Structures are given as C-alpha cells and as structure tokens.
Amino acid sequence: MDAPTNAPTRASTTASAKAIVTATDVSQVYEVRRGFFAKPLGLKAVKDASFTVEEGETLAIVGESGCGKSTLARMLTMIETPSEGALVIDGVTVSGDDPGDLKKLRSTVQIVFQNPYGALNPRQKVGSIIEEPLKINTRLSAAERRQKAEAALAEVGLRPEHYGRYPHMFSGGQRQRIAIARAIILEPKILVLDEPVSALDVSIQAQILNLLADLQDRLGLTYIFISHDLSVVKHVADRVMVMYLGRPVEIAPVDALYATPLHPYTRALLSATPATDPASKGQRIRLTGELPSPISPPPGCSFNPRCPYANDRCRSERPELTTHGATRVACFAVEEGRIDGV
C-alpha cells in the first residue's frame, strides 16, 4: 500500500509540532451484504487517506457524493474508528482500544451537521440541547450549566430568552446557530463542519460563514470544513483536500488550488462550478460518465474512466500523492507532464 517515494514527505509533515490531526493511510471498510447467503463484500469508503491538519487552520475537504468525505468526518469525530491506518488527534491515537482516550478526545472534537432541521431534537428545549454535552462530559451543577449555555447562545448571536424555546420556533439559520452553540460549549479544539451551510439560503449562508470566521478568531478553533461547494470553500479554507472515490487526489493551499489546479478531476470540478458571471459561460471542461461504484473500483487510478488524459499506465497502476511545489497530487499525467499548462 505504501509507496516509498511518499514516505519522506509524510514524515516531515508529521514532525511539525503544530499538527493537531495526523492521518496515516487511514481506511474505512464497510461490509455490504448482497443476498442472504452471499459472502459480504468490502466497500472501502475511504482508502489510504494521509493528511495533516495544523492547529488554527481551516482544512476543506471537497468532493462529490460518494467520495468518502462524510465517512472521514465520522472517523474524525470518533463515531467510527478507522478499520486500517493510524489517526492521531491532539496527540492521542484513535483506536477504540482505550475508552478513556476516546472520552477525552470527544470533548476535543465536535461536529456541526448539514441539516439543522434534523440535528436538533424537536422535543427538547434549546437550553437542554445545548447543555447536553455538559451533562455527559462534566460534573457542573444545573446553575453553572445554564450560565455556560447562555454564554454560548450569546457567542453565536442568539438571545438569552431563546434558552427556553423549542427548535421549531427557529429558522434554518438560527437552528444552525444553536447547533454551533452545542458544538462549542465543551470548548473543543477542533470543529468538524459537515456541509454546515448547504441547506441554507445565500443570505443566511453568509451570516453563518461570518459567524464561523468570528468564532475561529476568538476561540482559536481548528476547522475541518467538508463541502461540495467550491465557491464557499474558496472563501473559508486555508488548505483544500480534494477527494475522489475514497482517496485524496490533491492537497493544496487554497490560492494554489484555485489558481493552478493540477489534478484533472480538480480542474473539471472547478470548471463545472457555475460562475456568477454571465460573460464567462461556455468554457467548461466536460466530464462524461459518473462516479464508479466503490464496491468495484476501476483498476489503476480510480479517475481513469472519466479522465481525458488517461493512458495505459493510469489504467493499471495507482498513482500516489507526490509533491509539486506547494501542492501534493496523485496523478501520472501531472508527473509525466502530459497536461498542458502545468
């Protein structure tokens, strides 16, 4: 699995003292039953993902549905432990062997989900929703919890009188604020944001993005921002990881990624995103076909059936991430200089 060319780069990033999350060849395999007597098949939702997240930065994870970005979020938040590879968060290895470690990490990493309508229990009052993490993880008294919850409400721009209301009395944007208040109440270091604004309207989306930026400044949070919307990512991210069929295909600083995308998939993704400028239409790269099934991925590079640059090597061998300037990209066409303008 491990390519020798790759090892030095990885070691050097791991050594950097600021890395708060280090993932080394992390994989997640689900068993899929096809029929009662059939042997279960292994579906690798995430395959050999290696990356680091530095303290205080925003790493965006981008990809289409089925690329494994939400599975990665589930591993980072310890909803699931990786089936292969090592995931180190804040100096602690996530393995599931020691429940004490996981308990400690759970207050370090918190998550905000995509759908604010589904993420809040409609039968619970806002106050008790926000206090629940405190009830589970701390021994604070009811009065102290209430005080903290009201502070958290103020932090996300809601008023103290909202404490006793039910979620249905709030709009989508306000509910997302409640979800954020719940996520920050344990004073986590890392916030995993799983498509936090894709269910919201543009004007509300801007309010939430600003709130997240303010919180990051004030609380020094590290964000892992999962999204499929490249224009949002461009605005919020420091670094971007593009995933395709469970594997990172390109990891780059945000400016480099948008100025000179290297991987053919990144380029297609960027050009498929509609630009809000009527003058720029009609210069898109067209991808044919759809994402292949993760149960039987194509041999070689998983992007080869849709890639305009694919050759025989791409169809048989799998590219590993290699360094090109500030970017790490997994593509033979880039390595061999077969793409124009790279």
Partner 1 sequence: MPLLSLRNLSVTFDTASGPFKAVDGVDITVEPGEVLGIVGESGSGKSVAMLGLMGLLPPSATVTADEIAFEGRDMRAMSGRERRKIIGNEIAMIFQEPMSSLNPCFTVGYQIKEALKAHTDLDRKGRQTRAIELMNAVGIPEPERRLSAFPHQMSGGMSQRVMIAMATACNPKLLIADEPTTALDVTIQAQILDLLLDLQKDRGMAMILITHDMGVIAETAERVVVQYAGQQVERQPVSTLFDQPHHPYTAALLAAIPERSTGSRLPTIPGVVPGQGDRPDGCLFNPRCDKADERCRTVVPPRQPASLGEALCHYPLNHPASASAA
Edge-first strand listing for the sheet containing 92-93 = 41-54, 19-32, 84-89, 92-93
Three-class DSSP category at 86: strand
Measured CA to CA, the distance from residue 18 to residue 5 in angstroms comes to 24
User: Whose Cβ is closer to partner 1: residue 113's or residue 303's?
Assistant: 303
Which strand (E) or helix (H) includes residue 300? none
208 contacts 176 by C-beta, under 8 angstroms: yes
257 contacts 335 by C-beta, under 8 angstroms: no
User: Whose Cβ is closer to partner 1: residue 126's or residue 291's?
Assistant: 291
User: Whose Cβ is closer to partner 1: residue 22's or residue 302's?
Assistant: 302
Measured CA to CA, the distance from residue 12 to residue 260 in angstroms comes to 24
Strands, E assignment, the chain = 19-32, 41-54, 58-62, 84-89, 92-93, 109-112, 190-194, 222-227, 239-244, 247-253, 322-324, 327-329
User: Whose Cβ is closer to partner 1: residue 109's or residue 257's?
Assistant: 257
User: Whose Cβ is closer to partner 1: residue 121's or residue 231's?
Assistant: 231
User: Whose Cβ is closer to partner 1: residue 95's or residue 280's?
Assistant: 280
Site of interaction with partner 1 (CB under 8 A)? 64-65, 171, 173, 201-207, 209-210, 213, 228, 230-232, 234-236, 268-269, 272-281, 284, 286-288, 290-291
Q: How far is the CB of 117 from partner 1 (least distance, A)?
A: 12
Going from the C-alpha of 227 to that of each of 112, 115, 233, 330, the distances in angstroms are 12, 13, 7, 21
Q: How far is the CB of 243 from partner 1 (least distance, A)?
A: 13
Tokens of 233: 């990512």
Q: How far is the CB of 98 from partner 1 (least distance, A)?
A: 39
Q: How far is the CB of 143 from partner 1 (least distance, A)?
A: 33
Q: How far is the CB of 32 from partner 1 (least distance, A)?
A: 15
Q: How far is the CB of 201 from partner 1 (least distance, A)?
A: 4
